[in-house]
Structure 1
Amino acid sequence: MNKKIIITQSNYIPWKGYFDGMALVDEFVLYDDMQYTRRDWRNRNLIKTPQGLQWLTIPVEVKGKFYQKIRDTKVSDKKWAKEHLKAIRFNYAKARCFKEVFPFLESIYMEAEKLEYLSEINFLFLRNIKDYLGIFTPMKFCWEYPYNIEQDRNRRLIEICKLAGATDYYSGPAAKNYMDEQLFLQEGIRVHWLDYSGYSEYEQLYPPFEHGVSIIDLLLNEGKDAVKFLKNTGNKECKM
């Protein structure tokens, strides 16, 4: 029996393509044993404002911690959640589905405010948003599998795939720079590249239209209709 899998680092309120990949596969593994990278998507994402794009960034402890893992990265300022909520309220109050979606987001932020680690926060947002979208793909952390982290990156991914019973591995196109597809095939695992083209535009505030913003932009503008603007939803049965 075929099984599709994605293994990728957790992101903070990621863009719609992240959730589209999640909807496509049978298991979604958060690869947070990897090194935390600054100025990346792990702890920040973009929203729209009248002045243009704005970063929402979770402040984390990084000074002197050059090789820390994502899973070991801690929040450095507990006020971040209230500040992000304030920015969302200010910039999206006129969004079509603000009254429906903002209380949903607010409840997640209030819970996230109590958490200490970035991985926990990202997991919380991912779990709640995927459920809101009707995506029931199981999600887990990579350390739930007893893989050997000392191997090279291709071997690590292959081992997690095999431990998960996966036959098909899906990845973003950026990984083409380092992935050895032939090695995966030798181990009986087919590699597929996610296609992020062809997304429809929706009713978005503050022209011009931007595809690469956080999923919360889509939620606040379209509410439950957000799934209509993803490519891989609507045909998945619950796997929980």
Structure 2
Amino acid sequence: MKKVAILQSNYIPWKGYFDMIASVDEFILYDDMQYTRRDWRNRNQIKTPQGVQWLTVPVQVKGRYEQKIRETRIDQDSDWAHSHWKTLEQNYRRAAHFDEIAAWLRPIYIDTAHDNLSQLNRTLIEAVCGYLGIRTKLSWSWDYELVDGKTERLADLCAQAGGTVYVSGPSAKDYVDESVFAARDISLSWFEYTGYPEYQQLWGEFTHGVTILDLLFNCGKAAPQYMKHVRS
């Protein structure tokens, strides 16, 4: 049995995203999809004393309305990386494990040049997976052939990867045709994002949906205790 999940890359995703990665044998970054504005592709949330705040990577969108995520370029006229790191430092330096996480995270922001959104997202996703000990294979959707049809493409990608179980987020129930997977003898499993325990979090009322960096800064190597599929 091989479990496969297929999802667009996100910028410093929340813990549920990494739980899905950890729950499968191969995770395909589906960045052949069209880039969507004001979405999770290039932004995520952190906690601050003033409440939840967005961190947004500036990207080139003018005249590029139909570009794919993999084609999306980061705006080189902005010093976003230093700004994001400064914001993270200002809001999490009091966290118990800030220095430990900063040792490997800061160089990604400060010492590395980024010009492609997909690659930036993957670099950060791989770094977090490495820290958490997640050994799931990560691949790009363009490592495989792409067929037409929304559900047909997902099922075919899963089949090409040798998957016998396709793990999908619950929101896909609105459009996934389960019969397409059944015709290929692929089981369909719906991932649940509920039931996460709270942890010691800075700045007021607990918030689940922020970037996983919040969990890492606050809990360090104990982070898997507050996830469902990551083993410590």
TM bin, normalised by shorter chain, reads over 0.9
Q: Is it true that 1:201 corresponds to 2:198 in the alignment?
A: yes
Deviations 1:153-197 (A, max 9, x none): 111111101110101001111111110012211111111111111
Whole-Å separation in 2 of the counterparts to 1:107 and 1:35: 30
Q: Tell me, what secondary structure is at the counterpart of 1:47?
A: strand
Q: Is it true that 1:211 corresponds to 2:211 in the alignment?
A: no
Q: Is it true that 1:220 corresponds to 2:217 in the alignment?
A: yes
Whole-Å separation in 1 of the counterparts to 2:45 and 2:79: 19
**Distance apart, 1:115 and its partner CA:** 1.9
Q: 2:188 aligns with which of 186, 191, 204?
A: 191
**Distance apart, 1:201 and its partner CA:** 0.6
What runs of 5+ residues in structure 2 fail to find an aligned partner?
A: none
Whole-Å separation in 2 of the counterparts to 1:156 and 1:75: 28
Aligned to 1:98: 98
- Root-mean-square deviation (CA, aligned residues, Å) is 1.1
Whole-Å separation in 2 of the counterparts to 1:15 and 1:136: 18
Q: Tell me, what secondary structure is at the counterpart of 2:192?
A: coil
Aligned to 2:169: 172
The amino acid that maps onto 2:90 is F
Q: 2:228 aligns with which of 214, 217, 231?
A: 231
Whole-Å separation in 2 of the counterparts to 1:218 and 1:136: 19
Q: TM-score scaled to structure 2, two decimals?
A: 0.97
Aligned to 2:154: 157
**Distance apart, 1:64 and its partner CA:** 1.4
Q: Tell me, what secondary structure is at the counterpart of 1:96?
A: coil
**Distance apart, 1:152 and its partner CA:** 1.0
**Distance apart, 1:228 and its partner CA:** 1.2
Q: Tell me, what secondary structure is at the counterpart of 1:46?
A: strand
Aligned to 1:124: 123
The amino acid that maps onto 1:61 is Q
**Distance apart, 1:104 and its partner CA:** 1.8
Whole-Å separation in 2 of the counterparts to 1:234 and 1:49: 29
**Distance apart, 1:229 and its partner CA:** 1.0
The amino acid that maps onto 2:214 is D
Deviations 1:200-221 (A, max 9, x none): 1111001100000000000000
Deviations 1:40-92 (A, max 9, x none): 00000000000000000000000111110000000013511100000001011
Q: Is it true that 1:108 corresponds to 2:108 in the alignment?
A: yes
Whole-Å separation in 2 of the counterparts to 1:99 and 1:3: 37
How many residues are treated as equivalent by the alignment? 231
The amino acid that maps onto 1:182 is S
Whole-Å separation in 1 of the counterparts to 2:108 and 2:128: 9
Q: Residues 45-60 of structure 1 correspond to what in structure 2 (within 5 A)? A: 45-60=44-59
Deviations 1:70-119 (A, max 9, x none): 000000135111000000010111111112112221022135x4121100
The amino acid that maps onto 2:83 is E
